[in-house]
Structure 1
Amino acid sequence: MNNSNCDFSPMKQTIKEEIGQVILALQANLDVMDQEDYCLLGNFEKIKEHFISIDMKAASFYLNCYLAPFTDKYLELSICIQNMSHRRHGGLIVIQREDVLEPLVKPGISIKADLTHSLLESIFFPGNPLHDGAVMVNANQIVSAANVLPLSDRFVGDKKLGTRHRAALGLSERSDALVLVVSEETGRISFGFNGELYPVNNGESH
Protein backbone atom coordinates (compact mmCIF):
# COMPACT_ATOMS: atom_id res chain seq x y z
CA MET A 1 0.00 0.00 0.00
CA ASN A 2 1.30 3.43 -0.83
CA ASN A 3 -0.12 6.94 -0.74
CA SER A 4 2.07 10.00 -1.18
CA ASN A 5 -0.58 12.21 0.45
CA CYS A 6 -0.32 10.28 3.71
CA ASP A 7 1.27 12.10 6.66
CA PHE A 8 0.08 10.65 9.98
CA SER A 9 3.57 10.60 11.49
CA PRO A 10 2.79 9.65 15.13
CA MET A 11 0.76 6.60 14.12
CA LYS A 12 3.40 5.60 11.59
CA GLN A 13 6.12 5.89 14.23
CA THR A 14 4.12 3.72 16.64
CA ILE A 15 3.75 1.00 14.01
CA LYS A 16 7.47 1.12 13.23
CA GLU A 17 8.35 0.81 16.92
CA GLU A 18 6.01 -2.17 17.40
CA ILE A 19 7.43 -3.93 14.33
CA GLY A 20 10.86 -3.42 15.89
CA GLN A 21 9.62 -5.07 19.10
CA VAL A 22 8.41 -8.10 17.14
CA ILE A 23 11.77 -8.38 15.39
CA LEU A 24 13.59 -8.27 18.75
CA ALA A 25 11.25 -10.94 20.15
CA LEU A 26 11.90 -13.20 17.16
CA GLN A 27 15.65 -12.68 17.55
CA ALA A 28 15.41 -13.58 21.24
CA ASN A 29 13.68 -16.83 20.27
CA LEU A 30 16.46 -17.62 17.82
CA ASP A 31 19.00 -17.11 20.58
CA VAL A 32 17.36 -19.68 22.90
CA MET A 33 16.38 -22.31 20.33
CA ASP A 34 19.45 -24.43 21.14
CA GLN A 35 18.25 -24.92 24.71
CA GLU A 36 16.71 -28.38 24.61
CA ASP A 37 14.30 -27.85 27.51
CA TYR A 38 12.99 -24.49 26.27
CA CYS A 39 9.56 -24.46 24.59
CA LEU A 40 8.88 -21.60 22.17
CA LEU A 41 5.15 -22.18 21.68
CA GLY A 42 4.04 -19.71 24.34
CA ASN A 43 6.34 -17.05 22.92
CA PHE A 44 5.05 -17.65 19.40
CA GLU A 45 1.50 -17.14 20.60
CA LYS A 46 2.41 -13.78 22.16
CA ILE A 47 4.26 -12.71 19.02
CA LYS A 48 1.28 -13.73 16.88
CA GLU A 49 -1.08 -11.65 19.03
CA HIS A 50 1.30 -8.69 18.83
CA PHE A 51 1.56 -9.05 15.06
CA ILE A 52 -2.24 -9.13 14.69
CA SER A 53 -2.42 -5.93 16.73
CA ILE A 54 0.17 -4.29 14.46
CA ASP A 55 -1.73 -5.45 11.38
CA MET A 56 -4.94 -3.80 12.63
CA LYS A 57 -3.14 -0.57 13.55
CA ALA A 58 -1.53 -0.49 10.12
CA ALA A 59 -4.96 -0.92 8.53
CA SER A 60 -6.23 2.03 10.59
CA PHE A 61 -3.24 4.08 9.45
CA TYR A 62 -3.73 3.31 5.77
CA LEU A 63 -7.49 3.79 6.04
CA ASN A 64 -6.87 7.40 7.09
CA CYS A 65 -4.26 7.72 4.34
CA TYR A 66 -6.73 6.62 1.69
CA LEU A 67 -9.59 8.74 3.06
CA ALA A 68 -7.68 11.99 3.54
CA PRO A 69 -7.23 12.92 -0.16
CA PHE A 70 -10.93 12.40 -0.91
CA THR A 71 -12.74 13.81 2.13
CA ASP A 72 -11.96 16.29 4.88
CA LYS A 73 -14.39 14.37 7.09
CA TYR A 74 -12.27 11.30 7.79
CA LEU A 75 -12.31 12.06 11.53
CA GLU A 76 -16.12 12.22 11.44
CA LEU A 77 -16.13 8.87 9.65
CA SER A 78 -13.74 7.42 12.21
CA ILE A 79 -15.89 8.60 15.14
CA CYS A 80 -18.98 7.18 13.42
CA ILE A 81 -17.62 3.69 12.89
CA GLN A 82 -16.05 3.57 16.37
CA ASN A 83 -19.40 4.49 17.96
CA MET A 84 -21.27 2.01 15.77
CA SER A 85 -18.74 -0.69 16.64
CA HIS A 86 -19.16 -0.18 20.37
CA ARG A 87 -22.96 -0.37 20.02
CA ARG A 88 -22.78 -3.22 17.48
CA HIS A 89 -24.81 -1.32 14.93
CA GLY A 90 -24.09 -2.70 11.47
CA GLY A 91 -23.11 -0.29 8.72
CA LEU A 92 -21.85 0.01 5.16
CA ILE A 93 -20.33 3.30 3.97
CA VAL A 94 -18.94 3.89 0.47
CA ILE A 95 -16.38 6.67 -0.04
CA GLN A 96 -16.22 7.54 -3.72
CA ARG A 97 -12.75 8.21 -5.05
CA GLU A 98 -12.08 8.71 -8.76
CA ASP A 99 -14.25 6.07 -10.43
CA VAL A 100 -17.87 6.77 -11.36
CA LEU A 101 -20.05 4.45 -9.27
CA GLU A 102 -23.54 5.00 -10.70
CA PRO A 103 -23.36 2.07 -13.17
CA LEU A 104 -22.40 -0.31 -10.35
CA VAL A 105 -24.86 0.73 -7.64
CA LYS A 106 -28.62 0.36 -7.42
CA PRO A 107 -29.60 3.84 -6.19
CA GLY A 108 -31.30 4.41 -2.87
CA ILE A 109 -32.74 7.50 -1.20
CA SER A 110 -31.18 10.92 -1.85
CA ILE A 111 -29.78 12.63 1.26
CA LYS A 112 -27.42 15.39 0.03
CA ALA A 113 -26.34 16.62 3.45
CA ASP A 114 -23.05 17.57 5.06
CA LEU A 115 -21.29 14.55 6.48
CA THR A 116 -21.42 14.34 10.28
CA HIS A 117 -20.92 11.31 12.47
CA SER A 118 -24.26 11.88 14.21
CA LEU A 119 -26.19 11.86 10.92
CA LEU A 120 -24.41 8.73 9.73
CA GLU A 121 -25.06 6.99 13.05
CA SER A 122 -28.75 7.90 12.90
CA ILE A 123 -29.05 6.43 9.40
CA PHE A 124 -27.67 3.09 10.62
CA PHE A 125 -29.62 3.05 13.88
CA PRO A 126 -31.50 -0.27 14.06
CA GLY A 127 -35.08 0.17 12.89
CA ASN A 128 -34.32 3.13 10.64
CA PRO A 129 -35.77 2.28 7.19
CA LEU A 130 -32.44 3.26 5.58
CA HIS A 131 -30.11 1.23 7.81
CA ASP A 132 -29.90 -1.93 5.69
CA GLY A 133 -28.34 -0.42 2.57
CA ALA A 134 -25.09 1.39 1.86
CA VAL A 135 -24.50 5.10 2.37
CA MET A 136 -22.71 6.85 -0.47
CA VAL A 137 -20.21 9.58 0.45
CA ASN A 138 -18.66 11.95 -2.07
CA ALA A 139 -16.10 14.44 -0.75
CA ASN A 140 -17.69 15.94 2.39
CA GLN A 141 -21.30 15.08 1.61
CA ILE A 142 -23.61 12.17 2.34
CA VAL A 143 -25.10 11.70 -1.13
CA SER A 144 -27.64 8.94 -0.51
CA ALA A 145 -28.61 5.99 1.68
CA ALA A 146 -30.15 2.54 1.22
CA ASN A 147 -28.08 1.90 -1.90
CA VAL A 148 -27.55 -1.69 -3.08
CA LEU A 149 -24.00 -2.72 -3.98
CA PRO A 150 -22.85 -5.59 -6.20
CA LEU A 151 -21.91 -8.68 -4.21
CA SER A 152 -18.60 -10.46 -4.53
CA ASP A 153 -18.76 -13.93 -6.08
CA ARG A 154 -15.62 -15.11 -4.30
CA PHE A 155 -17.38 -15.91 -1.05
CA VAL A 156 -20.70 -17.30 -2.24
CA GLY A 157 -21.64 -20.08 0.17
CA ASP A 158 -19.28 -18.93 2.91
CA LYS A 159 -21.58 -18.48 5.91
CA LYS A 160 -18.89 -16.67 7.87
CA LEU A 161 -19.02 -13.69 5.52
CA GLY A 162 -22.18 -11.57 5.74
CA THR A 163 -23.92 -9.62 3.01
CA ARG A 164 -22.33 -6.30 4.03
CA HIS A 165 -18.83 -7.74 3.70
CA ARG A 166 -19.63 -9.36 0.36
CA ALA A 167 -20.99 -6.01 -0.82
CA ALA A 168 -17.84 -4.18 0.33
CA LEU A 169 -15.71 -6.67 -1.58
CA GLY A 170 -18.00 -6.59 -4.61
CA LEU A 171 -17.79 -2.83 -5.11
CA SER A 172 -14.07 -2.68 -4.28
CA GLU A 173 -13.41 -5.39 -6.88
CA ARG A 174 -15.10 -3.29 -9.56
CA SER A 175 -13.96 0.23 -8.64
CA ASP A 176 -11.43 2.24 -6.65
CA ALA A 177 -14.05 3.06 -4.00
CA LEU A 178 -13.21 2.50 -0.34
CA VAL A 179 -16.00 0.75 1.58
CA LEU A 180 -16.25 0.81 5.38
CA VAL A 181 -18.03 -2.08 7.10
CA VAL A 182 -19.18 -2.49 10.70
CA SER A 183 -20.41 -5.95 11.67
CA GLU A 184 -23.56 -5.95 13.78
CA GLU A 185 -22.76 -9.48 15.01
CA THR A 186 -19.27 -8.74 16.37
CA GLY A 187 -18.82 -4.96 16.15
CA ARG A 188 -15.65 -5.50 14.16
CA ILE A 189 -14.64 -2.81 11.69
CA SER A 190 -13.05 -3.48 8.31
CA PHE A 191 -12.71 -1.78 4.96
CA GLY A 192 -12.81 -3.05 1.42
CA PHE A 193 -10.26 -1.73 -1.05
CA ASN A 194 -8.96 -3.18 -4.31
CA GLY A 195 -10.97 -6.35 -3.75
CA GLU A 196 -9.54 -7.09 -0.29
CA LEU A 197 -10.90 -6.71 3.24
CA TYR A 198 -8.70 -5.21 5.95
CA PRO A 199 -9.53 -5.31 9.70
CA VAL A 200 -9.31 -2.00 11.56
CA ASN A 201 -8.29 -1.52 15.18
CA ASN A 202 -11.31 -0.19 17.07
CA GLY A 203 -9.67 0.19 20.45
CA GLU A 204 -11.06 -2.97 22.03
CA SER A 205 -11.26 -6.66 21.33
CA HIS A 206 -14.54 -8.47 20.70
Structure 2
Amino acid sequence: MENNACDFSPLKVQLETGLQHLIQLLQTNLTILGNENYCVLGSLEDIKERLIEIESVASSYYLGCYLSQYTDTYEYLSDAVNYLSNLNHGALIVVERQTPITPLIQKGTEIGALVTPKLLESIFYPGNPLHDGAVLIKGNIVESAANVLPLKKINKTNKKLGTRHRAALGISEVSDALVLVVSEETGKISLAIDGKLYPINTNQPIVLGPV
Protein backbone atom coordinates (compact mmCIF):
# COMPACT_ATOMS: atom_id res chain seq x y z
CA MET A 1 0.00 0.00 0.00
CA GLU A 2 2.96 2.33 0.25
CA ASN A 3 3.13 5.23 -2.19
CA ASN A 4 4.76 8.61 -2.62
CA ALA A 5 1.78 10.64 -1.44
CA CYS A 6 3.95 12.72 0.90
CA ASP A 7 6.22 13.76 -1.96
CA PHE A 8 3.41 14.96 -4.22
CA SER A 9 0.69 16.17 -1.89
CA PRO A 10 -0.43 19.77 -2.64
CA LEU A 11 -0.75 20.18 1.12
CA LYS A 12 3.04 19.92 1.37
CA VAL A 13 3.35 23.01 -0.81
CA GLN A 14 0.70 24.77 1.27
CA LEU A 15 2.56 23.84 4.46
CA GLU A 16 5.91 25.06 3.13
CA THR A 17 4.35 28.34 1.99
CA GLY A 18 2.66 28.87 5.35
CA LEU A 19 5.91 28.27 7.25
CA GLN A 20 7.81 30.65 4.96
CA HIS A 21 5.21 33.40 5.49
CA LEU A 22 5.35 32.81 9.23
CA ILE A 23 9.15 33.15 9.25
CA GLN A 24 8.87 36.41 7.30
CA LEU A 25 6.27 37.72 9.74
CA LEU A 26 8.45 36.85 12.73
CA GLN A 27 11.47 38.51 11.15
CA THR A 28 9.44 41.66 10.46
CA ASN A 29 8.33 41.80 14.08
CA LEU A 30 11.89 41.31 15.26
CA THR A 31 13.01 44.21 13.06
CA ILE A 32 10.39 46.68 14.33
CA LEU A 33 10.62 45.62 17.96
CA GLY A 34 13.09 48.41 18.74
CA ASN A 35 10.96 51.09 17.11
CA GLU A 36 8.96 53.02 19.71
CA ASN A 37 6.37 54.01 17.09
CA TYR A 38 5.23 50.40 16.56
CA CYS A 39 3.59 47.85 18.86
CA VAL A 40 3.88 44.16 17.98
CA LEU A 41 0.93 43.00 20.11
CA GLY A 42 -1.56 43.07 17.23
CA SER A 43 0.87 41.27 14.99
CA LEU A 44 1.41 38.58 17.63
CA GLU A 45 -2.32 37.83 17.49
CA ASP A 46 -1.96 37.38 13.74
CA ILE A 47 0.99 35.06 14.31
CA LYS A 48 -1.09 32.90 16.68
CA GLU A 49 -3.86 32.63 14.06
CA ARG A 50 -1.30 31.71 11.40
CA LEU A 51 0.11 29.00 13.68
CA ILE A 52 -3.34 27.48 14.16
CA GLU A 53 -3.87 27.45 10.38
CA ILE A 54 -0.46 25.87 9.78
CA GLU A 55 -1.09 23.22 12.45
CA SER A 56 -4.35 22.31 10.73
CA VAL A 57 -2.67 21.98 7.32
CA ALA A 58 0.19 19.97 8.85
CA SER A 59 -2.26 17.58 10.53
CA SER A 60 -4.04 16.98 7.23
CA TYR A 61 -0.76 16.47 5.39
CA TYR A 62 0.73 13.99 7.83
CA LEU A 63 -2.57 12.14 8.19
CA GLY A 64 -2.45 11.45 4.47
CA CYS A 65 1.18 10.36 4.71
CA TYR A 66 0.53 7.97 7.57
CA LEU A 67 -2.74 6.51 6.28
CA SER A 68 -1.39 5.82 2.79
CA GLN A 69 0.85 3.13 4.27
CA TYR A 70 -1.98 1.22 5.96
CA THR A 71 -5.12 1.68 3.87
CA ASP A 72 -5.99 2.44 0.27
CA THR A 73 -9.27 4.01 1.33
CA TYR A 74 -8.17 7.42 2.58
CA GLU A 75 -10.28 9.25 0.01
CA TYR A 76 -13.33 7.32 1.24
CA LEU A 77 -12.49 8.22 4.83
CA SER A 78 -12.05 11.85 3.84
CA ASP A 79 -15.40 11.90 2.01
CA ALA A 80 -17.16 10.28 4.95
CA VAL A 81 -15.80 12.51 7.71
CA ASN A 82 -16.41 15.65 5.66
CA TYR A 83 -20.01 14.56 5.08
CA LEU A 84 -20.49 13.79 8.77
CA SER A 85 -18.82 17.06 9.71
CA ASN A 86 -21.18 19.09 7.52
CA LEU A 87 -24.17 17.47 9.26
CA ASN A 88 -22.67 17.66 12.77
CA HIS A 89 -22.93 13.89 13.07
CA GLY A 90 -20.42 12.72 15.68
CA ALA A 91 -17.97 10.01 14.62
CA LEU A 92 -14.99 8.09 15.98
CA ILE A 93 -12.83 6.09 13.55
CA VAL A 94 -9.74 4.11 14.56
CA VAL A 95 -7.29 3.04 11.86
CA GLU A 96 -5.03 0.24 13.04
CA ARG A 97 -1.36 0.43 12.10
CA GLN A 98 1.21 -1.90 13.68
CA THR A 99 -0.21 -2.23 17.19
CA PRO A 100 -3.08 -4.78 17.38
CA ILE A 101 -6.09 -2.82 18.61
CA THR A 102 -8.55 -5.61 19.49
CA PRO A 103 -6.85 -6.58 22.80
CA LEU A 104 -7.01 -2.93 23.92
CA ILE A 105 -10.73 -2.33 23.44
CA GLN A 106 -14.12 -3.69 24.37
CA LYS A 107 -15.14 -5.08 21.02
CA GLY A 108 -18.52 -4.20 19.58
CA THR A 109 -20.34 -5.54 16.52
CA GLU A 110 -18.49 -7.42 13.76
CA ILE A 111 -18.85 -5.77 10.34
CA GLY A 112 -16.19 -7.25 8.03
CA ALA A 113 -17.01 -5.07 5.01
CA LEU A 114 -15.00 -2.90 2.66
CA VAL A 115 -14.63 0.73 3.69
CA THR A 116 -17.05 2.97 1.78
CA PRO A 117 -18.38 6.46 2.56
CA LYS A 118 -21.97 5.18 2.62
CA LEU A 119 -21.14 2.47 5.15
CA LEU A 120 -19.41 4.88 7.52
CA GLU A 121 -22.12 7.52 7.08
CA SER A 122 -24.83 4.98 7.89
CA ILE A 123 -23.00 3.66 10.97
CA PHE A 124 -22.69 7.15 12.46
CA TYR A 125 -26.18 8.30 11.49
CA PRO A 126 -27.95 9.46 14.70
CA GLY A 127 -30.32 6.79 15.91
CA ASN A 128 -28.28 3.91 14.50
CA PRO A 129 -27.51 1.55 17.42
CA LEU A 130 -23.84 1.54 16.36
CA HIS A 131 -23.29 5.28 16.14
CA ASP A 132 -22.11 5.92 19.71
CA GLY A 133 -19.05 3.66 19.62
CA ALA A 134 -15.87 3.60 17.57
CA VAL A 135 -15.36 2.03 14.16
CA LEU A 136 -12.19 -0.06 13.80
CA ILE A 137 -10.57 -0.17 10.37
CA LYS A 138 -7.87 -2.69 9.45
CA GLY A 139 -6.42 -2.18 6.00
CA ASN A 140 -9.38 -1.60 3.70
CA ILE A 141 -11.91 -3.35 5.94
CA VAL A 142 -14.33 -2.00 8.53
CA GLU A 143 -13.56 -4.68 11.09
CA SER A 144 -16.16 -3.71 13.70
CA ALA A 145 -18.35 -0.91 15.02
CA ALA A 146 -19.70 0.23 18.41
CA ASN A 147 -16.34 -0.54 19.99
CA VAL A 148 -15.61 0.91 23.44
CA LEU A 149 -12.17 2.52 23.75
CA PRO A 150 -10.10 3.30 26.86
CA LEU A 151 -10.72 6.89 27.98
CA LYS A 152 -8.08 9.49 28.61
CA LYS A 153 -8.16 10.49 32.28
CA ILE A 154 -9.64 13.91 32.92
CA ASN A 155 -7.16 16.63 33.87
CA LYS A 156 -6.97 20.43 33.76
CA THR A 157 -6.11 20.55 30.06
CA ASN A 158 -8.75 18.14 28.74
CA LYS A 159 -11.66 18.55 31.18
CA LYS A 160 -13.75 20.25 28.48
CA LEU A 161 -13.33 17.37 26.02
CA GLY A 162 -16.27 15.09 25.26
CA THR A 163 -16.27 11.31 25.50
CA ARG A 164 -15.34 10.77 21.83
CA HIS A 165 -12.26 12.96 22.09
CA ARG A 166 -11.19 11.39 25.39
CA ALA A 167 -11.60 7.95 23.81
CA ALA A 168 -9.53 9.02 20.79
CA LEU A 169 -6.76 10.26 23.06
CA GLY A 170 -7.01 7.15 25.23
CA ILE A 171 -6.48 4.63 22.44
CA SER A 172 -3.78 6.76 20.83
CA GLU A 173 -1.84 6.76 24.10
CA VAL A 174 -1.64 2.96 24.26
CA SER A 175 -1.19 2.24 20.54
CA ASP A 176 0.12 3.74 17.30
CA ALA A 177 -3.40 3.95 15.86
CA LEU A 178 -4.61 6.96 13.90
CA VAL A 179 -7.95 8.18 15.21
CA LEU A 180 -10.36 10.51 13.43
CA VAL A 181 -12.97 12.34 15.50
CA VAL A 182 -15.92 14.40 14.32
CA SER A 183 -17.44 16.62 16.99
CA GLU A 184 -21.20 16.32 17.34
CA GLU A 185 -21.39 19.85 18.76
CA THR A 186 -19.21 21.78 16.32
CA GLY A 187 -18.70 19.44 13.35
CA LYS A 188 -14.95 19.99 13.64
CA ILE A 189 -12.64 17.14 12.65
CA SER A 190 -9.59 16.19 14.72
CA LEU A 191 -6.77 13.67 14.51
CA ALA A 192 -5.52 11.86 17.60
CA ILE A 193 -2.04 10.37 17.47
CA ASP A 194 0.51 9.59 20.20
CA GLY A 195 -1.82 10.87 22.89
CA LYS A 196 -2.31 14.30 21.31
CA LEU A 197 -5.20 15.90 19.43
CA TYR A 198 -4.76 18.01 16.29
CA PRO A 199 -7.29 19.93 14.15
CA ILE A 200 -7.76 18.77 10.56
CA ASN A 201 -8.01 21.15 7.62
CA THR A 202 -11.15 20.23 5.67
CA ASN A 203 -11.11 23.19 3.27
CA GLN A 204 -8.95 21.33 0.75
CA PRO A 205 -9.09 17.58 -0.02
CA ILE A 206 -5.91 15.60 0.54
CA VAL A 207 -4.64 14.00 -2.65
CA LEU A 208 -2.77 10.73 -2.24
CA GLY A 209 -0.48 10.21 -5.19
CA PRO A 210 1.04 12.37 -7.95
CA VAL A 211 -0.95 15.43 -9.04
Q: Is the 8 A contact 2:168 2:180 kept in 1?
A: yes
Listed one character per residue, the Cα deviations across residues 112-141 of structure 1 (whole Å, up to 9, x for unaligned) are 111011210111011111100000111011
> Does 2:78 match 1:75?
no
Listed one character per residue, the Cα deviations across residues 79-131 of structure 1 (whole Å, up to 9, x for unaligned) are 11111111111000010111112211111111111101121011101111110
User: What is the DSSP-based 3-state SS (H/G/I as helix, E as strand, rest coil) of the residue aligned with 1:16?
Assistant: helix
Q: Is the 8 A contact 2:9 2:61 kept in 1?
A: no
Partner of 1:131: 131
Partner of 2:90: 90
**C-alpha distance in 2, partners of 1:89/1:71?**
23
Higher relative contact order (CA 8 A, sep 6+): 2
> Aligned pair in 2 of structure 1 residues 13, 157: CA closer, same or farther (>3 Å)?
closer
Q: Which amino acid aligns with 1:84?
A: L
**C-alpha distance in 1, partners of 2:139/2:69?**
9
Query: Could you state the TM-score of these two structures normalised by the residue count of structure 2?
Result: 0.89
Q: 1:174: how far off? A: 1.0
Partner of 2:207: none
Q: Is the 8 A contact 1:8 1:61 kept in 2?
A: no
User: What is the DSSP-based 3-state SS (H/G/I as helix, E as strand, rest coil) of the residue aligned with 2:144?
Assistant: strand
CA RMSD of aligned residues (A): 2.0
Listed one character per residue, the Cα deviations across residues 140-182 of structure 1 (whole Å, up to 9, x for unaligned) are 1111110111111254895411111111111111111111111
Q: 1:192: how far off? A: 1.3
Q: Which amino acid aligns with 1:18?
A: G
Q: Which amino acid aligns with 1:168?
A: A
Moved over 6 A (4+): none
**C-alpha distance in 2, partners of 1:13/1:115?**
29
Q: Which amino acid aligns with 2:22?
A: V
Partner of 1:18: 18
**C-alpha distance in 2, partners of 1:86/1:44?**
32
User: What is the DSSP-based 3-state SS (H/G/I as helix, E as strand, rest coil) of the residue aligned with 1:21?
Assistant: helix
